[in-house]
């Protein structure tokens, strides 16, 4: 744990700027190679098992195909003027100093090949426009550097044309998959989710046992029986949550929070063993088809269980896919109750409950924490919550302020739409990339150290399964305990006083908000 005595600390050494731009270190990360996918992981997803003989022709043709099928890819390959606005915006560049981790340079790895085969200047004057032939070295370079992008879209906020490196990086991974050069971590997980229903490969029986254990935990803690139903037909709400919520810390404490909120709301709800995964790694490999296959499991589960609403748990990219793409991939959802957003985020649900004073909250239960909030990239820049633009920033903060007495924001240049990635998103949350993950997390960690200095912040809350896993691994490298990362609904869970639960406050006063909100 970082020391809380801020006076003593600030005298010793000044905390550096989280966005400080490093000197270029060419080739610093050139050797990084994620594990290649096993043959079966590739073929399961409809890709060739290994590198095909005519990979070069296929890859070049795929660039052309993607340019015709995806406007963003075509426009972004053409429109960049190399102004340099994005060069200092990527957390992996800030953390590694490798110039190929500058967004424009990362795009250029592919743009240079596109220019060589698809543009006049690149065909006849390659030296003039930096065009180059597609060789095996180039392919390997793509494999390395397109797996050093977490597709967090921070660069797209700052580009004058809105060029989104995530679109290029997803396309590059799709090209790599198409020629049989898949990445183990993503492809193995997608196959598991498609065959079993979740990224962990957790079978229905094991899931049921886990949920029953959790029900007992809540009862032991509160004395109130709170259900975590599985596969219950006719429930109103289908909860789609990342499978990490079933076993990992602090994710699991978030799940307990959802359960308590649903319990107090009095709505019937259920988890589905068939669609027991919110995460959709099809996004990371840029595969519309695989993303659609996974999304259709949610549709099928909703139909089979006869639910009226779909609510998503805390997961960043899952919420991007859920909010922005689910209607496209697996809609129309005309069989659900149209009075609720489809899908809805658990934060929207809990926020409504809190604003309407329907939850009995004892904020002091969280007094041991001095909390800040990490905006997860996919939620911040690829989705929304509530009715208004920016609700994805306001709702989690409002919920946190409802349940904690000590809340502090980090540097504005590192939050909201400018938030820094945790360093583990986009299919990089795998052990062999630990060095990259640590370096990529360092700008965020510096911003956190600032609020620890200034406000004695001890904990950071997040609403993304990947962020939570990543931070619990890397925070110890920056002087924090591994449990310094919290689920937002963990704090909700701590503060809720369930109906029938004993409250240790001297006098149970209703919160001020509860009074204001009553009509």
Partner 1 sequence: MLSTLYAVLFYAATLMLIIGTGFRIRKYAKAPAPLKIPTTPAPTTRQGVFWRMVREVAVFESLFKSNKWIWVFGYAFHAGLALVLLRHFRYFTLDVWWWVEIVQPFGVYAGFAMVLGLLGLSFRRVVVERIRYISDPSDHLMLLLLIAIGASGLLMKYVAHTDIIAVKGYMLGLMRFRIGELPADPILLIHLGLVAFLMIIFPISKLLHGPGIFFSPTRYQVDNPREKRHLAAWAAELEK
Q: 10-14: long-range contacts (C-beta < 8 A, 24 or more apart)? A: 10/453
Residue 163 makes contact with partner 1 by CB under 8 A:
yes
Residue 328 makes contact with partner 1 by CB under 8 A:
yes
Question: Which range, of 6-14, 37-45, 207-215, 385-393, touches partner 1 by CB under 8 A?
Answer: 385-393
- In the three-class reduction of DSSP (H, G, I as helix; E, B as strand; rest coil), residue 5 is classed as coil
Residue 81 makes contact with partner 1 by CB under 8 A:
yes
Q: Binding to partner 1 (CB under 8 A): which residues in 253-272?
A: none
Q: Which of 159, 279, 465, 474 binds partner 1 (CB under 8 A)?
A: 159
Query: Can you tell me the distance from the alpha carbon of 148 to that of 89, in angstroms, rounded to the nearest whole number?
Result: 14
Q: Minimum CB separation from partner 1 for residue 518, in Å?
A: 29
Q: Minimum CB separation from partner 1 for residue 156, in Å?
A: 5
The total number of residues written for the chain in this structure: 519
Question: Which range, of 159-167, 191-199, 297-305, 473-481, touches partner 1 by CB under 8 A?
Answer: 159-167
Unique residue bearing structure tokens 């949550």: 241
Query: Can you tell me the distance from the alpha carbon of 338 to that of 463, in angstroms, rounded to the nearest whole number?
Result: 26
Q: Which of 20, 289, 337, 515 binds partner 1 (CB under 8 A)?
A: 289
Q: Binding to partner 1 (CB under 8 A): which residues in 164-183?
A: 164, 167
Cis status of the peptide bond prior to 14, with omega within 30 of 0:
no
Residue 85 makes contact with partner 1 by CB under 8 A:
yes
Q: Which of 381, 437, 459, 489 binds partner 1 (CB under 8 A)?
A: 381
Residue 6 makes contact with partner 1 by CB under 8 A:
no
Q: Which is nearer to partner 1, 101 or 472 (CB)?
A: 101
Q: Which of 43, 327, 360, 501 binds partner 1 (CB under 8 A)?
A: 327
Residue 25 makes contact with partner 1 by CB under 8 A:
no
Give the CA count within 13 Å in the CB-facing half-sphere of 437: 23
Q: Is 434 exposed, middle or buried (0-12, 13-18, 19+ CB in 10 A)?
A: middle
Question: Which range, of 126-134, 252-260, 351-359, 446-454, touches partner 1 by CB under 8 A?
Answer: 126-134
Query: Can you tell me the distance from the alpha carbon of 263 to that of 4, in angstroms, rounded to the nearest whole number?
Result: 37
What would the 3-class secondary structure string for 52-118 be? CCCHHHHHHHHHHHHHHHCHHHHHHHHHCCCCCCCCCCCHHHHHHCCHHHCHHHHHHHHHHHHHHHH
Residue 23 makes contact with partner 1 by CB under 8 A:
yes
Q: Minimum CB separation from partner 1 for residue 344, in Å?
A: 9
Q: Which of 15, 17, 28, 162 binds partner 1 (CB under 8 A)?
A: 162
CA distances from 137 to 11, 100, 165, 367 (A): 49, 15, 21, 55
Q: Which is nearer to partner 1, 389 or 500 (CB)?
A: 389
Q: Which is nearer to partner 1, 363 or 416 (CB)?
A: 416
Q: Is the dihedral of CA 260, 389, 292, 142 positive or negative?
A: negative
Residue 76 makes contact with partner 1 by CB under 8 A:
yes
Q: Which of 88, 141, 232, 355 binds partner 1 (CB under 8 A)?
A: 88
Residue 78 makes contact with partner 1 by CB under 8 A:
yes
CB atoms within 10 A of CB 106: 27
Q: Which is nearer to partner 1, 260 or 297 (CB)?
A: 297
Residue 74 makes contact with partner 1 by CB under 8 A:
yes
Phi, psi of 367 (to 5 degrees): -65, -20
Query: Can you tell me the distance from the alpha carbon of 115 to that of 123, in angstroms, rounded to the nearest whole number?
Result: 7
Unique residue bearing structure tokens 């809380």: 4
Q: Which is nearer to partner 1, 238 or 361 (CB)?
A: 238
What DSSP state is assigned to residue 361? B
Phi, psi of 456 (to 5 degrees): 65, 30
Q: Which of 130, 201, 229, 479 binds partner 1 (CB under 8 A)?
A: 130
Residue 343 makes contact with partner 1 by CB under 8 A:
yes
Q: Which of 24, 61, 248, 267 binds partner 1 (CB under 8 A)?
A: 24
Q: Which is nearer to partner 1, 234 or 331 (CB)?
A: 331
Q: Which of 18, 34, 95, 99 binds partner 1 (CB under 8 A)?
A: 99
Residue 50 makes contact with partner 1 by CB under 8 A:
no
Residue 64 makes contact with partner 1 by CB under 8 A:
no
Phi, psi of 77 (to 5 degrees): -70, -35
Question: Which range, of 81-89, 196-204, 267-275, 456-464, touches partner 1 by CB under 8 A?
Answer: 81-89
DSSP result, 401-424: HHH-S-B----GGGSGGGPPP-S-
DSSP result, 126-154: HHHHT-----HHHHHHHHHHTTS-----H
Residue 389 makes contact with partner 1 by CB under 8 A:
yes
Q: Which of 40, 82, 477, 505 binds partner 1 (CB under 8 A)?
A: 82
Q: Which of 11, 12, 127, 519 binds partner 1 (CB under 8 A)?
A: 127
The two structure tokens encoding residue 99: 């110039």
């Amino acid at each position: 744990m970082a020391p809380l005595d801020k006076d003593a600390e600030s005298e010793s050494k000044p905390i550096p700027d989280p966005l400080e731009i490093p000197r270029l270190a060419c080739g610093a990360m050139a050797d990084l190679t994620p594990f290649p996918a096993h043959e079966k992981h590739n073929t399961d997803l409809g890709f060739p098992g290994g590198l095909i003989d005519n990979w070069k022709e296929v890859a070049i043709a795929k660039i052309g195909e993607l340019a015709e099928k995806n406007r963003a890819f075509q426009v972004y390959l053409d429109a960049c003027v190399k102004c340099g606005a994005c060069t200092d915006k990527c957390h992996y560049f800030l953390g590694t100093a490798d110039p190929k981790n500058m967004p424009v340079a990362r795009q250029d790895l592919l743009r240079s090949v596109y220019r060589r085969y698809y543009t006049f200047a690149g065909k006849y004057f390659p030296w003039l426009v930096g065009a180059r032939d597609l060789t095996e070295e180039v392919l390997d370079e793509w494999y390395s550097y397109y797996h050093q992008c977490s597709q967090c879209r921070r660069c797209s906020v700052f580009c004058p044309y809105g060029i989104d490196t995530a679109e290029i990086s997803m396309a590059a991974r799709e090209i790599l998959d198409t020629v049989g050069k898949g990445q183990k971590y993503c492809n193995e997980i997608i196959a598991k989710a498609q065959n079993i229903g979740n990224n962990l490969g957790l079978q229905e029986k094991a899931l049921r046992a886990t949920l029953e254990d959790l029900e007992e935990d809540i009862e032991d803690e509160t004395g109130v029986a709170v259900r975590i139903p599985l596969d219950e037909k006719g429930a109103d709400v289908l909860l789609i949550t990342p499978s990490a919520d079933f076993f990992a810390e602090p994710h699991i404490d978030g799940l307990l929070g959802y359960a308590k909120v649903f319990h107090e709301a009095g709505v019937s709800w259920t988890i589905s063993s068939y669609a027991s995964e919110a995460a959709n790694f099809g996004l990371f490999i840029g595969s519309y088809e695989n993303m659609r296959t996974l999304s259709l499991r949610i549709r099928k589960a909703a139909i089979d269980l006869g639910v009226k609403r779909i609510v998503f748990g805390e997961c960043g990219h899952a919420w991007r896919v859920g909010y922005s793409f689910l209607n496209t991939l697996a809609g129309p959802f005309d069989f659900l109750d149209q009075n609720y957003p489809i899908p809805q985020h658990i934060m929207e649900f809990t926020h409504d409950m809190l604003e309407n004073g329907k939850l009995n909250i004892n904020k002091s239960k969280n007094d041991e924490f001095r909390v800040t909030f990490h905006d997860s990239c996919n939620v911040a820049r690829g989705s929304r919550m509530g009715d208004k633009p920016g609700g994805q920033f306001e709702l989690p903060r409002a919920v946190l302020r409802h349940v904690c007495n000590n809340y502090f924001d980090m540097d504005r240049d590192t939050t909201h739409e400018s938030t820094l990635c945790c360093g583990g998103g986009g299919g990089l949350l795998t052990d062999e990339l630990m060095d990259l993950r640590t370096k990529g997390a360092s700008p965020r960690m510096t911003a956190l150290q600032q609020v620890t200095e200034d406000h004695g912040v001890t904990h950071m809350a997040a609403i993304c399964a990947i962020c939570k896993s990543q931070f619990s691994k890397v925070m110890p490298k920056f002087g924090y305990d591994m449990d310094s990362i919290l689920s937002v609904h963990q704090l909700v869970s701590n503060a809720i006083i369930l109906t029938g639960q004993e409250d240790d406050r001297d006098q149970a006063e209703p919160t001020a908000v509860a009074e204001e909100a009553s009509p």
